[in-house]
Structure formats: C-alpha cells, structure tokens
Amino acid sequence: MAKQQWEEDAKDRFLQFLSSSTSEKWAVLDEDVVVHPATNRNFDYRLGLASAGWLLNCSGS
C-alpha cells in the first residue's frame, strides 16, 4: 500500500534521529515487509545501516 506523506516524512526524520544518535548512517532497506503472508500483515519499514543496504543491493544485482 502506498505510504502517506506523513509516514514518509516521519520515517525520514526517524532515520536522521538514528543517524545522529548512533553516528552511523541509517537507511530504509525495505517497506511494507510482510510478516504473515496469509493475511498480508506487514510492518511499515525495515531499517538498517546504509552500508548494509548497499550490501543488499550488491547481492541483489
């Protein structure tokens, strides 16, 4: 489901908060991550260190 603007904005600010409190760059690795396929129940965002995202992208390509 498409994210609403307030969700995108809040997520961006949270990433910034994480980055400044851990001194590491955080990024969105995935969104609407399904935890229960039968019902398609999901959580909003999977976050991780930006370097991990780069690794994921590399392994995916």
Burial track 11-30 (b if 16+ CB lie within 10 A, e otherwise): beeebeeeeeeeeeebbbbe
Task: Pick one of 17, 24, 51, 54: the residue that binds other proteins (CB under 8 A).
Answer: 17
Contact 53, 46 (CB under 8 A): no
- Told to check if 14 binds other proteins by CB under 8 A, we report yes
| Least distance to other proteins, CB of residue 16, Å | 7
Residues of this chain that interact with other proteins (CB under 8 A) are 6-7, 9-11, 13-14, 16-18, 26, 33, 35-36, 41-48
